[in-house]
């Protein structure tokens, strides 16, 4: 028998049908929209009713040659000759089900932890349902959502096995690109598909809902393939792109939404203007949906985080991911408190960052490494092997990582760019790191506008390496401008340096970047 195509796995739930819609009609429309496998899930029906629904659904699926899986009930699966069964952790054990079912029957199991995945592997499951990724109204969850990062860890547990994996729980067309990006890059084992209930079943147009989900899945798979085969760009390639991005920022003046700290808000807004972009410094959770329609990128800086601002950041990121615009995360002082650590964890679990930027202490805390510590927001010490650290963190978080310090390291998970520009005064003023965050976000906005001709290529999927170039360009712009600023007449120290820096950023030309960049690219 053909292997099952898990790309778009519809799990039914008749209680979610909109008024006037019937189960079989919705099922047929969903199949026409591109559902590749169907699970009949009946939590309240008695046996006779379940059997009838299963028989009718099976006849329909057969007509379209779509495999049908029965939730939980081995007897119903046997009675209708289903292609498979789906078991929960407290249902019939896999080895017993295997004995009862005809040879070749597909057995899947829901897993919520790495241990459950390892046990499913041991027991010979054909596929696993990993979740719940996000919270959902459809099923009462017995443990907290695993988030995209949790999903990545569970997928890694499947490396070197041939078990298929689908994700489930709260998956919608608005967050699917984020989900797939978080689980397609570096591990051997990718998601084979996504399982969805409400986004299709509760939709007034299940055919279109299924089409939307399927096309996002397919295009993301293409992008992931491109990323895998991407060759290391040369120093000149990256510099050329960075200069194009610099020009584009001035030409298109992207609107950069910045949720930053109270210490640096003013200078961050001014450096953004100096780059040719426009700052928008809003924080209220209530307006994030509206603002995401206007902005071209989001900067999230946790420098003076309070509980209220965290809600705004969660919301903002959700909408910005959905709009496929870039997000830059600056986890300022994350090592200083559990509140910051937990908050960043929550942010990275609910949305996909495009770039994460921090000093050694901050990125060590974010990565859970004890190699270097921080004092307040300042970093003490550095990594023994910053190149490997930066590359690995980029792989783990599936985004571009910028490690700042006397030398800056930037990686997309493949190559690492090493930069050695910058005047020491940059480290003496407050908020130079935060200004860098604004520069990265502005250039990411421009980079995204450059490549947004494909509906699904934007956001966190660094298709052409443009976000890497944007981050490199941002570091070079700020550090080279700092070198030129200290040469200006009248610049004597911290106080006179800041305005000179802002002026020099505004005056900087692409030629300056090409001429002064102290830059090297190393391959993985
Ligand atoms: N199982 P929706 S979450 C049926 O975590 C089911 O195992 C889950 O529904 C699990 O797509 C879930 O509407 C419901 O969020 C998913
Ligand atoms: Mg069950």
Q: Where are the domains of the chain?
A: 8-229, 235-519
Nearest CA owner, ligand 1 atom 5 = 132
pLDDT of residue 461: 47
| Residue count of the chain | 524
pLDDT of residue 99: 97
110 lines ligand 1 (CB under 6 A): yes
Nearest CA owner, ligand 1 atom 15 = 170
Assess contact for 374 and 363: CB atoms under 8 A. Answer: no
Looking at the CA of 139, name the nearest ligand.
1
CA distance 179 to 154: 13
446 lines ligand 1 (CB under 6 A): no
Query: To test ligand 1's pocket by mutation, which of 10, 139, 150, 196 has the most ligand atoms within 8 angstroms of CB?
Result: 139
- Of 402, 416, 400, which is closest to residue 524 (Cα–Cα)? 416
173 lines ligand 1 (CB under 6 A): no
11 lines ligand 1 (CB under 6 A): yes
What's the CA-to-centroid distance between 70 and ligand 2, angstroms?
Answer: 10
Q: What is the mean pLDDT of the chain?
A: 90
Looking at the CA of 89, name the nearest ligand.
2
What's the CA-to-centroid distance between 75 and ligand 2, angstroms?
Answer: 13
pLDDT of residue 247: 96
Nearest CA owner, ligand 1 atom 13 = 198
Handedness of CA 368, 374, 380, 386 (dihedral sign): positive
| Per-residue model confidence as pLDDT tens digits over 126-176 | 999 999 999 899 999 888 888 887 888 898 888 878 899 999 999 999 888
**CATH 1.20.1250.20 applies to domain 8-229:** no
Looking at the CA of 113, name the nearest ligand.
1
pLDDT of residue 226: 54
| Per-residue model confidence as pLDDT tens digits over 242-251 | 999 999 999 9
What's the CA-to-centroid distance between 110 and ligand 2, angstroms?
Answer: 8
CA distance 334 to 369: 13
Burial code (b: 16+ CB inside 10 Å, e: under 16) for 19-52 equals eebebeebbbbbbebbbbbbbbbbeebeeeebbe
Looking at the CA of 169, name the nearest ligand.
1
434 noted as active-site residue:
yes
User: Which is more confidently placed, 187 or 361?
Assistant: 361
CA distance 510 to 477: 9
Per-residue confidence band for 203, with pLDDT thresholds at 50, 70 and 90 = very high
pLDDT of residue 457: 39
348 lines ligand 1 (CB under 6 A): no
CA distance 344 to 45: 42
Report the pLDDT averaged over residues 310-320: 91
> Looking at 61, 434, 439, 444, which residue is catalytic?
434
Check: complex ipTM more than 0.90:
yes
Angle at 128 between CA 124 and CA 134, to 5 degrees: 160
Report the pLDDT averaged over residues 61-67: 97
pLDDT of residue 454: 43
pLDDT of residue 227: 54
Per-residue confidence band for 52, with pLDDT thresholds at 50, 70 and 90 = very high
Q: Which atom of ligand 1 is nearest to the CA of 41?
A: 4
CA distance 467 to 326: 9
Nearest CA owner, ligand 1 atom 4 = 139
What's the CA-to-centroid distance between 138 and ligand 1, angstroms?
Answer: 6
| Per-residue model confidence as pLDDT tens digits over 360-407 | 999 999 998 877 766 666 666 788 999 999 998 988 787 899 999 999
Of 220-229, 319-328, 454-463, where does mean pLDDT reach its minimum?
454-463
pLDDT of residue 153: 85
Write out the two tokens for 517.
């960049």
CA distance 348 to 399: 11
CA distance 233 to 295: 29
pLDDT of residue 459: 42
| CATH hierarchy code of domain 235-519 | 3.40.1190.20
404 lines ligand 1 (CB under 6 A): no
pLDDT of residue 351: 84
Q: How much of the chain exceeds pLDDT 70, in percent?
A: 92
pLDDT of residue 230: 64
pLDDT of residue 37: 98
pLDDT of residue 185: 40
């Amino acid at each position: 028998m053909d292997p099952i195509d898990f790309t778009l796995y519809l799990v039914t739930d008749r209680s979610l049908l909109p008024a006037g819609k019937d189960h079989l009609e919705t099922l047929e429309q969903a199949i026409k929209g591109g559902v590749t496998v169907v699970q009949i899930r009946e939590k309240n029906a008695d046996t006779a009713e379940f059997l009838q629904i299963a028989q009718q659904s099976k006849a329909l699926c057969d007509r379209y040659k779509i495999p049908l899986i029965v939730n939980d009930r081995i007897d119903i699966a046997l009675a209708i000759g289903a292609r498979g069964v789906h078991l929960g952790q407290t249902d019939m054990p896999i080895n017993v089900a295997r004995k009862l079912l005809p040879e070749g029957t597909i057995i899947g199991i829901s897993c919520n932890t790495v241990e459950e995945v390892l046990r499913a592997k041991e027991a010979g499951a054909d596929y696993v349902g990993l979740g719940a990724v996000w919270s959902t109204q459809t099923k009462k969850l017995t443990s907290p959502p695993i988030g995209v990062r949790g999903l990545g860890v569970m997928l890694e547990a499947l490396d070197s096995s041939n078990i298929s994996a689908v994700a489930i729980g709260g998956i919608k067309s608005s967050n699917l690109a984020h989900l797939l990006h978080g689980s397609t890059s570096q591990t051997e084992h990718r998601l084979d598909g996504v399982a969805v209930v409400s986004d299709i079943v509760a939709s007034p147009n299940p055919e279109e809902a299924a089409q939307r989900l399927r096309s996002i899945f397919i295009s993301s798979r293409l992008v992931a393939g491109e990323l895998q085969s991407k060759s290391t760009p040369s120093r000149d390639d990256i510099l050329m792109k960075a200069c194009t991005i610099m020009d584009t920022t001035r030409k298109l003046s992207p609107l950069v939404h910045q949720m930053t700290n109270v210490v640096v808000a003013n200078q961050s807004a001014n450096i953004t203007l100096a780059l040719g972009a426009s700052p928008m410094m809003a924080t209220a959770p209530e307006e994030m949906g509206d603002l995401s329609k206007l902005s071209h990128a989001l900067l999230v800086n946790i420098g003076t985080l309070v509980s209220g601002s965290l809600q705004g950041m969660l919301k903002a990121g959700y909408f910005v991911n959905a709009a496929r615009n870039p997000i830059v995360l600056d986890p300022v002082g994350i090592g200083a408190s559990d509140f910051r650590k937990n908050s960043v964890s929550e942010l990275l679990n609910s949305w996909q960052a495009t770039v994460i930027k921090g000093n050694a202490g901050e990125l060590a805390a974010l990565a859970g490494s004890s190699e270097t510590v921080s004092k307040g927001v300042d970093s003490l010490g550095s990594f023994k092997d910053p190149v490997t650290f930066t590359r690995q963190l980029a792989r783990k978080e599936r985004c571009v990582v910028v490690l700042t310090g006397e030398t800056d390291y930037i990686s997309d998970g493949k190559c690492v760019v090493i930069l050695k520009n910058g005047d020491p005064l940059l480290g003496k003023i407050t908020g130079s790191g935060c200004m860098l965050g604004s520069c990265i976000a502005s250039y990411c906005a421009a980079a995204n506008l450059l490549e947004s001709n494909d509906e699904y290529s934007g956001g966190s999927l660094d298709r052409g390496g443009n976000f890497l170039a944007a981050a490199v360009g941002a570091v070079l712009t700020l550090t080279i401008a700092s070198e030129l600023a200290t040469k200006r007449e009248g610049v004597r120290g911290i106080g006179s340096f800041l305005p000179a820096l802002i002026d020099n950023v505004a005056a900087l030309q692409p030629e300056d970047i090409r001429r002064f960049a102290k830059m090297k690219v190393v391959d993985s």
